[in-house]
Amino acid sequence: MRPTLSDVARLASVSVATASRALSNPDLVADGTRRAVREAANSCGYKINLVARSLRIQRTDTLLVLTPEIDNGFYPALLHGIEDAALDLGYTVLVGFTAKSEKHRQSYADLLSNGRVDGMLVMDGGSGVNRFTGPRPDLPTVQVLDRIYAPPVPVVRVDDGEVADLAVRHLSSLGHHRIAHIAGSAAAPHALERRNGFVAAMGRSGLPVEEHLMVSGDGGWEGGLQAMRRLLSLPQRPTAVFCADDALACAAMNVCREQGLRVPEDISLIGANDTQDGQRAYPPLTTVHVPRADIGATAANLLIGLIRGQPGAESDTVLPVELRERATCAPLRAAVAA
């Protein structure tokens, strides 16, 4: 049916070997021959068979990325960063959504051991995934943001303690001292670290951390809503709250509005990650920026380095975060402080 390399070879009156070289390693073949082969290939509409090629060269030039559901605006930027870097180096990316079940995750990870992909980016570490399924760290793997496999497996991430620190310092510098924290999913390592970071940063700023001002925003959007409601029903409510991510902060902001509180006049809100929902909220959310595209690109480059056996693959890369002041934080007003 489809023309194969040997068809081309016959048409050009050369051997398959020469035809192969003429097409994929042009320097090794004489000028006239090359042209003849090219012509023959065009005339019969020859397309290389990548599967056969992969079998022969033992490489697929494909990366697998394990990602949780991507409804939340956080992962797309990571994916784009990955894809961008991968494409530049001649790789294509296969994505596997793993939130559905451990079984699916396993079967995706199997693609790695089964030779269909050359390496794997684990991006679903924050989704409470079973850390014992799937990846075989003996095969090229790099983790993104959440470390769920032990050190020989590299990770590229941000310093979540710093994320919390930036947020707390900003709030504190505005005069706030009754600062609350809405924590992210308990299953996510980074959420835990942000929580711990919050406690540490409060300490460093000489502020008291009150146990009931730290609530769990577990349960996604609904969880965020409930967390904020709990906070606002406290006898002494906080004057500022650091939310573990922008979605949580948006939820918190909605609760404020439904209770007639103005942001930032009556209460300051700060998020983290700098996702689109925060940027487009009203007022736009102050947040700490996490360079997602960079993280993705870095991880992809690292993985490809690993695959190609390049030495010097750092096993823990941490990228810088920074505060993005927008419009949801204001200085503490004397009236409220009282």
Cα radius of gyration (the chain)? 26
Number of residues this chain uses to bind DNA (CB under 7 A): 30
Q: Which is nearer to a second copy, 202 or 231 (CB)?
A: 231
Q: How far apart are CA 182 and CA 216, in angstroms?
A: 6
Which one of a second copy, DNA, none is in contact with 226 (Cβ closer than 5 to 8 A by kind)? none
For residue 214, give the 3-state DSSP assignment.
strand
Q: Which is nearer to a second copy, 117 or 179 (CB)?
A: 117
Contact with DNA (CB under 7 A) among 2, 233, 235, 260: 2
Which one of DNA, a second copy, none is in contact with 20 (Cβ closer than 5 to 8 A by kind)? DNA
Contact with DNA (CB under 7 A) among 5, 79, 248, 250: 5
Residues numbered 132-171 forming contacts with DNA, rule: CB under 7 A: none
The 10 Å Cβ neighbour count of residue 323 is 17
Q: Name residue 118's amino acid.
A: D
Q: Which is nearer to a second copy, 178 or 324 (CB)?
A: 324
Each residue 25-54 as x (binds DNA by CB under 7 A) or -, in order, gives x--xxxxxx------------x-xx--xx-
Which of the 8 DSSP states describes residue 3?
A: -
Residue 273 touching DNA (CB under 7 A): no
Q: How far apart are CA 249 and CA 265, in angstroms?
A: 16
The 10 Å Cβ neighbour count of residue 262 is 11
Which one of DNA, a second copy, none is in contact with 253 (Cβ closer than 5 to 8 A by kind)? a second copy
Number of residues this chain uses to bind a second copy (CB under 8 A): 50
Residues numbered 168-197 forming contacts with DNA, rule: CB under 7 A: none
Contact with a second copy (CB under 8 A) among 28, 30, 50, 336: 50
Residue 130 touching DNA (CB under 7 A): no
Q: How far apart are CA 191 and CA 78, in angstroms?
A: 18
**How many residues appear in the chain?**
338
As measured in angstroms, the least distance from the Cβ of 277 to a second copy is 7
Each residue 60-99 as x (binds a second copy by CB under 8 A) or -, in order, gives x-x------xxxxx--xx-xx--xx--x----xxxxxx--
| 85 within 8 A of 78, measured Cβ to Cβ | no
Q: How far apart are CA 16 and CA 14, in angstroms?
A: 7
Taking the CA of residue 302 as centre, how many other CA atoms within 13 Å lie in the half-sphere pointing to its CB? 26
Which one of a second copy, DNA, none is in contact with 157 (Cβ closer than 5 to 8 A by kind)? none
Residue 4 touching DNA (CB under 7 A): yes
Q: What is the DSSP track for 95-148? A: EEE-SS-HHHHHHHHHHHHTTS-SEEEE--GGGT--TTSS--TTS-EEEESS--
Q: Is 42 exposed, middle or buried (0-12, 13-18, 19+ CB in 10 A)?
A: exposed
Q: Which is nearer to a second copy, 45 or 312 (CB)?
A: 45
Q: Is residue 208 reached through a cis peptide bond, with omega within 30 degrees of 0 on the bond before it?
A: no
Binding interface with a second copy (CB under 8 A) = 47-52, 54-55, 60, 62, 69-73, 76-77, 79-80, 83-84, 87, 92-97, 100, 104, 107-108, 110-111, 113-116, 221, 247, 250-251, 253-254, 257-258, 276-277, 280, 282
